[in-house]
């Protein structure tokens, strides 16, 4: 017998959840926690139950299941089986054993969790599930998860999204500049008292160690009728476009508004070390103060002014009282990017009205893509019986901010923008 389309979808959903558990453990270079073991056991059990419900028998290799159990993945109390498996893995991979737990050496090859899962998958999936009519592929409704590519958007386009370093892992260590005091000056021999040589001036560049951890950005779509995926071939691509737009907006929101200590992303509005600029007279005057403050600190190149849509519109509508011409047009002549006092103007929907970000962003704020945004299809509780499916879009990103002092947080709320 073969699995129905609904059973294939349910199998794929359980399989993806199980695979994510072992992949996350591999990326973190750690053993599974007791909760993760129980969760993995439940998902693998769901896969087996779906096969049995379809009348497919004898496809689960008991040796493979025992190997998974011995690895500790299905052993809730982490007992003797796990300790014996750790010793076996250590001997096989040449790793060390500490307290019954193998210390995984990445140079030894595939991580034990991933190896155990892939072995299990080979025993229960396409290779082992062979019927008289041939192999039964266990695939999602859209055949394979759809890669959505990098999220777009004006702010993200300005900053850019970089590939994850080859070293892998889930975090990127880096140094953040806290202060900059430039004391460089002319120096010559004999300039001190009685013709002595004075010490050369010392500048102060205070740094701190930081770690940019990969954070998940994700959302699901409201249920969709399963048959629509077959009836409307463009639905998959259309929904992917809608959902990657949502991911882009969420990532931009985090870059601006996240609290680093809570959410792991240095949101520009709350991160320590930026320059606060109070309101003065009107929006153009206040923005000019911010640009001047940054220039005095030596941050004069590649400055941008990030505004909310409302503040961007208000600025674009300002006219000269003498000529009636727009002072800061949104569409300058020659197709050039709009600017404010020579700094590029960027609109960010996630930014609240009454506040602006001015400073160096490109090359200062870095976004690394750990997992490309991808669209998955699956069923949740109650959807199977109603012939509905749900789409999940998610990606993983890490954000680092190298020089907070090169960014000013500007208050535009103290008055109306008028000329």
Per-residue 3-state assignment (H helix, E strand, C coil) for 52-66: HHCCCCCCCCHHHHH
CA separation for the pair 91, 321 (Å, rounded): 82
* Contact of 46 with 102, CB cutoff 8 Å: no
In the predicted structure, residue 182 carries a pLDDT above the cut 90: no
CA separation for the pair 344, 338 (Å, rounded): 6
Q: Which two tokens stand for residue 98?
A: 């500490």
What pairs with residue 215 in β-bridges? 397
Query: Which pLDDT does position 19 carry in this prediction?
Result: 73
Helix (H) or strand (E) holding 84: helix 80-93
CA separation for the pair 203, 412 (Å, rounded): 34
Q: Comparing C-alpha atoms, which of 115, 5, 113, 114 is closest to residue 50? A: 5
Q: Which two tokens stand for residue 338?
A: 């709009």
pLDDT band at 85 (very low <50, low <70, confident <90, very high): very low
Query: Which pLDDT does position 2 carry in this prediction?
Result: 64
By DSSP bridging, strand 215-220 and strand 388-401 are: antiparallel
Contacts with 77 (C-beta within 8 Å, 6 or more apart), sequence order: none
Question: Mean pLDDT of all residues in the chain?
Answer: 75
Residue 384: CB atoms within 10 Å? 16
Average pLDDT over residues 99-105: 34
Q: What is the pTM of this model?
A: 0.60
- 84/240: higher pLDDT: 240
DSSP 8-state symbol, 404 = G
pLDDT, tens digit (0-9, with 9 covering 90-100), for 156-173: 888 888 889 877 789 999
pLDDT, tens digit (0-9, with 9 covering 90-100), for 306-337: 999 999 999 988 888 888 888 887 666 555 67
* Contact of 3 with 138, CB cutoff 8 Å: yes
Query: Which pLDDT does position 78 carry in this prediction?
Result: 39
pLDDT, tens digit (0-9, with 9 covering 90-100), for 379-395: 877 777 788 888 898 99
Query: Which pLDDT does position 112 carry in this prediction?
Result: 47
- 97/195: higher pLDDT: 195
pLDDT, tens digit (0-9, with 9 covering 90-100), for 128-147: 222 222 222 222 333 344 44
pLDDT, tens digit (0-9, with 9 covering 90-100), for 257-307: 999 988 899 999 999 999 999 999 999 999 999 999 999 999 999 999 999
∠ CA 220-222-228, nearest 5°, is: 110
Q: Comparing C-alpha atoms, which of 215, 166, 144, 171 is closest to residue 374? A: 144
**Collapsed DSSP state (helix, strand, coil) of residue 44:** helix
In the predicted structure, residue 193 carries a pLDDT above the cut 60: yes
* Contact of 380 with 245, CB cutoff 8 Å: no
**Collapsed DSSP state (helix, strand, coil) of residue 329:** coil
Q: Comparing C-alpha atoms, which of 257, 263, 216, 224 is closest to residue 242? A: 224
pLDDT, tens digit (0-9, with 9 covering 90-100), for 24-65: 776 676 777 777 777 777 777 777 777 777 666 544 333 344
CA separation for the pair 401, 146 (Å, rounded): 31
């Amino acid at each position: 017998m073969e699995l129905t389309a609904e059973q294939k979808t349910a199998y794929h959903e359980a399989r993806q959840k199980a695979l994510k558990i072992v992949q996350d453990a591999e990326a973190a270079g750690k053993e599974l926690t007791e909760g993760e073991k129980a969760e993995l056991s439940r998902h693998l059990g769901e896969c087996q139950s779906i096969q049995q419900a379809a009348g497919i028998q004898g496809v689960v290799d008991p040796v493979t299941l025992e190997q998974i159990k011995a690895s500790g993945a299905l052993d809730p109390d982490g007992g003797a089986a796990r300790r014996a498996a750790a010793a076996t893995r250590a001997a096989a991979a040449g790793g060390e054993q500490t307290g019954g737990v193998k210390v995984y050496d990445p140079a030894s090859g595939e991580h034990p969790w991933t190896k155990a899962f892939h072995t299990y998958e080979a025993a229960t999936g396409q290779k082992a599930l062979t019927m008289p009519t041939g192999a039964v592929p266990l695939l999602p409704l859209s055949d394979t998860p759809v890669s959505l590519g990098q999220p777009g958007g004006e702010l993200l386009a300005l900053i850019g999204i970089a590939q994850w370093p080859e070293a892998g892992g889930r975090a990127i260590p880096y140094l953040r500049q806290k202060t900059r005091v430039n004391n460089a000056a002319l120096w010559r021999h004999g300039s001190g008292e009685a013709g002595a040589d004075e010490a050369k001036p010392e500048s102060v560049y205070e740094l701190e160690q930081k770690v940019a951890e990969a954070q998940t950005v994700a959302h699901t779509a409201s249920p969709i009728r399963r048959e629509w995926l077959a009836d409307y071939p463009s639905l998959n691509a259309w929904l992917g476009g809608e959902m990657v737009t949502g991911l882009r907006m969420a990532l931009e929101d985090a870059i601006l508004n996240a609290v680093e200590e809570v959410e792991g992303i240095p949101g520009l509005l709350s991160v320590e070390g930026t320059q606060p600029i109070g309101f003065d007279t009107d929006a153009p005057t206040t923005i000019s103060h911010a640009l001047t403050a940054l220039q005095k600190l030596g941050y004069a190149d590649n400055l941008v002014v990030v505004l909310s849509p409302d503040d961007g519109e208000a600025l674009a509508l300002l006219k000269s009282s003498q000529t009636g011409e727009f002072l800061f047009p949104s569409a300058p002549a020659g197709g050039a990017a709009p600017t404010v006092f020579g700094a590029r103007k960027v609109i960010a929907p996630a930014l609240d009205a009454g506040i602006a970000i001015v400073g160096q962003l490109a090359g200062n704020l870095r976004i690394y893509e750990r997992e490309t945004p991808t669209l998955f299809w699956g069923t949740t509780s109650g959807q199977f019986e109603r012939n509905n499916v749900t789409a999940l879009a998610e990606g993983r990103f890490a954000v680092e901010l190298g020089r907070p002092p090169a960014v000013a947080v500007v208050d535009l709320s103290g008055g109306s923008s008028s000329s």
